[in-house]
Copies of this chain bind each other. A is one copy, B any other.
Amino acid sequence: MSNDRIRDFSNGALAKRLGVPRVPVLRRYSPGQPLLPGPAFVAGTGRFAEAVAALIVEEGCTVVEEIGEERVAAVVVDLTDATTLDDLAAARAILQPAVRKLAPSGRVLLLGPDPAEAAGVEAAAVAQALDGLVRTIAKEVRAGATANLLVVAAGAAPAAVDSSVRFLLSARSAYVDGQVMRVGVPVGTPQDPPAMDSPTEKPLAGRIAVVTGAARGIGASIADTLARDGATLVVVDIPAAGENLAKVANRTGGVALQLDITADDAPARLVAFLAERFGRADLVVHNAGITRDKLLANMDAERWDSVLNVNLRAQLRITDALLASDLLGDGARIVSVSSQSGIAGNRGQANYVASKAGIIGMVRALAPVVAEKGVTINAVAPGFIETDMTATMPVATREGGRRINSLRQGGLPVDVAETIGWLGQAASGGVNGQVVRVCGQSMIGA
């Protein structure tokens, strides 16, 4: 779906008459694009500032150390050494002139310490203050700009944040806004940083990626995006979707596996298929999901069970089987598609919400377990994403969903897919057990 279609209503004559503000055009990734379309301002006295400046330069972009008259495409402030209220006041002094000069689709990226690791009460307060601060900046910056915070573990070396900084500065993170993500000491053996925006080298080159529910919608976009980034695809969907699935397999140069993931033998069949064809899996994306909406007061057992079985039980069983096999080696990544509803709840979706919250519980519980194998598991939680489903909503519901976020528009399936691509890299081993919302900083929380 194109940006144009999203803006159909919002920038049309009716919207103008109603005084609806114009929807900013988000910068999105295309191969060969530079990391940033303009200079980056890098500041702060933490241990990451130098490495961040170096990677931006390595990508062929400019770094400035002072704010002048020129607009900047990114503002990166390394506050990982902030421990006092005076340090916090210094951050204000850096950020205040910088956000004034942020270009459209600009990036504010803060790096901060982990409140849970802070030495002392004031330091913990300051670390948590950055959480509120970045969410405020995300609500204030305009024209498609975003603001995010990387909370960095005390033990993480500069290289640990590399893939996350590249993602959050790049156009790939167009719809990731107002988020706080933790980067720890990477699991497994050290990995080279990705060369994300090089036309000759692809960040997922050589990786075998499995995507469930890949025949259409967000799943198909995930397959397309991972293939674009160099992955070899195994696309999975139910037999009834076989025709669409074959199309996705063909256009991504991947292989199709028709499989009802809720079948008793589904985990064994998937494991056998992967073992025979590839001998491994480097990225497993649990994307398949269904909805059967009803208020809880009218929710029968069939609706409940069918949603829980597809969205959660099948994932639990397949993940179990994969971990029991030797398919997931050092550097393998699991990413599960949760939902904003799984965080905030949603009227009429008790079954769907339970399944999507359950995924978050699964991810958090498995993260320390899989880390021992050099594997990570994370969740993405999409907000309002433009799909065939949202296209059929009543216009008021749809416009409401699109507008109650800081970017004033719905996201695209590719925005979810790009986030999965980042988490799926071998170089993203520092990100584990996280739930990353892809929601344009949707207002809807809990």
Residues in chain A within 8 A of chain B (CB atoms): 85, 88-89, 92-93, 95-96, 99-100, 115-116, 118, 120-140, 178, 295-301, 304-305, 308, 312-313, 316, 319-320, 341-351, 353-362, 364-366, 369, 404, 441, 443-446
Q: Which of B95, B304, B349, B364 contacts A296 (CB 8 A)?
A: B95
- With contacts A89-B304, A96-B297 taken as known, whether A353 is within 8 angstroms of B443 at the C-beta atoms is no
Q: List 26 A-B contacts (CB under 8 A).
A: A92-B299, A92-B301, A96-B298, A116-B364, A118-B361, A121-B316, A121-B365, A121-B369, A124-B361, A125-B358, A128-B357, A129-B357, A129-B361, A130-B354, A130-B357, A132-B341, A132-B342, A132-B354, A133-B357, A134-B345, A136-B354, A138-B345, A139-B346, A140-B296, A140-B348, A404-B443
- In the bound assembly, the distance between CA atoms of A366 and B124 in angstroms comes to 9
Q: Tell me if A124 and B89 are in contact (CB < 8 A).
A: no
- With contacts A115-B365, A121-B366 taken as known, whether A136 is within 8 angstroms of B345 at the C-beta atoms is yes
Contacts of A349 in B (CB 8 A): 136
Among A92, A95, A295, A356, chain B packs the most CB atoms within 10 A around the CB of A92
- With contacts A136-B353, A345-B138 taken as known, whether A361 is within 8 angstroms of B128 at the C-beta atoms is yes
- In the bound assembly, the distance between CA atoms of A377 and B355 in angstroms comes to 33
Measured CB to CB, the closest approach of chain B to A130, in angstroms, equals: 8
Contacts of A139 in B (CB 8 A): 345-347
- In the bound assembly, the distance between CA atoms of A406 and B160 in angstroms comes to 41
- In the bound assembly, the distance between CA atoms of A347 and B142 in angstroms comes to 11
Majority secondary structure of chain A interface residues (helix, strand, loop or mixed): helix
- In the bound assembly, the distance between CA atoms of A300 and B96 in angstroms comes to 8
- Told that A135-B353, A137-B345 touch, could you supply 9 new A-B pairs with CB distance under 8 A? A96-B300, A126-B361, A127-B361, A128-B361, A132-B353, A133-B345, A139-B345, A140-B295, A178-B446
Contacts of A312 in B (CB 8 A): 85, 125, 129
Among A178, A313, A316, A357, chain B packs the most CB atoms within 10 A around the CB of A357
Q: Which of B122, B138, B299, B358 contacts A96 (CB 8 A)?
A: B299
Contacts of A301 in B (CB 8 A): 89, 92-93
Q: Tell me if B443 and A357 are in contact (CB < 8 A).
A: no
Contacts of A178 in B (CB 8 A): 345, 446
| Nearest opposing residue in chain B for A308, CB measure | B85
- In the bound assembly, the distance between CA atoms of A93 and B296 in angstroms comes to 10
- In the bound assembly, the distance between CA atoms of A369 and B120 in angstroms comes to 10
Measured CB to CB, the closest approach of chain B to A345, in angstroms, equals: 3
Contacts of A132 in B (CB 8 A): 341-343, 345, 353-354, 356-358
- In the bound assembly, the distance between CA atoms of A30 and B164 in angstroms comes to 53
- In the bound assembly, the distance between CA atoms of A14 and B153 in angstroms comes to 54
Contacts of A354 in B (CB 8 A): 88, 129-130, 132-133, 136
Contacts of A444 in B (CB 8 A): 443, 445
- With contacts A85-B312, A316-B125 taken as known, whether A361 is within 8 angstroms of B140 at the C-beta atoms is no
